[in-house]
Amino acid sequence: MLLPRPASHVIHDLDGVLLDTEPFYTIATTEICAEYGKTFDWSVKANMIGRPSRDSARYLVETLDLPITPEEYLQRRRDRLEELFPTSLPKPGAEDFTQAVHAMGVTQAVGTSSEKKLLDLKITNHREWFSIFEACVTGDDPRVKDGKPGPDIFLVAADELKAEPPNCVVFEDSPAGVAAARAAGMLVVALPDPAMNEAEFADADLVVSGYDKLTPTDLGL
């Protein structure tokens, strides 16, 4: 087993963990920033991933000194993303891994900062796969008072699974998500984008490059 203690329930982030949607956010934001002669790169994106939309929008506008409000940016980005999300594809190995966990009788949930409407767009072509998850907790759930790095999303997901937080393992791809899982008292497996500095995931119990580096038994399931 690769974790400090066994887990009995699994919670997955969505973007960059189950579905390869992160490039869509980059496309939409790059297009908007380019209109104002600004460059959107990983030095900015790394501080936005995993955070609530309004927080990341405020950071972007302030950091790049964009002549629009965070709200204007979010609306323009949303319009573009709604065109892109239905074409979302699974992250390599994600479906096989989660199906293997499901076959073991282990309950799983999704905990994402995305709004419910956007989640529905992202899983347009994956509804059968996502039917294996006992719950999908989104950032606009009224029970989520504080977004990541706050623990609320994962605590609500654990409640939906009728699980004690210390018995849950979270799969995340962002430092904010790792911090949220830690704040919830949960185990964390990090799946960072290769472009990110692995040192930012030092608080994770395990850092792997992909699902092909893991089996359910590695987690004590």
Residue ranges of the alpha helices (H) in the chain? Answer: 22-34, 42-45, 53-64, 70-84, 94-103, 116-122, 127-130, 152-160, 175-183
Residue 137 corresponds to which tokens in the numbers above?
Answer: 């907790």
How far is Cα 17 from Cα 148, in angstroms, rounded to an integer? 15
CA distances from 91 to 22, 40, 65, 69 (A): 10, 23, 33, 32
- Written as one letter, the residue type at 49 is I
Active site includes 15?
A: yes
How far is Cα 20 from Cα 55, in angstroms, rounded to an integer? 22
Quickly count: other Cβ atoms within 10 Å of residue 6's Cβ: 13
Active site includes 193?
A: no
For 65, list phi and psi in degrees, rounded to 5: 55, 50
Check: CB of residue 93 under 8 Å from CB of residue 210.
yes
Residue 58 corresponds to which tokens in the numbers above?
Answer: 């405020």
Query: How many CA within 13 A on the CB side of residue 192?
Result: 20
Using only C-alpha atoms, what is the Rg of the chain?
Answer: 17
The residue annotated as part of the active site, out of 15, 55, 141, 173, is 15
User: Active-site residues: which are they?
Assistant: 13, 15
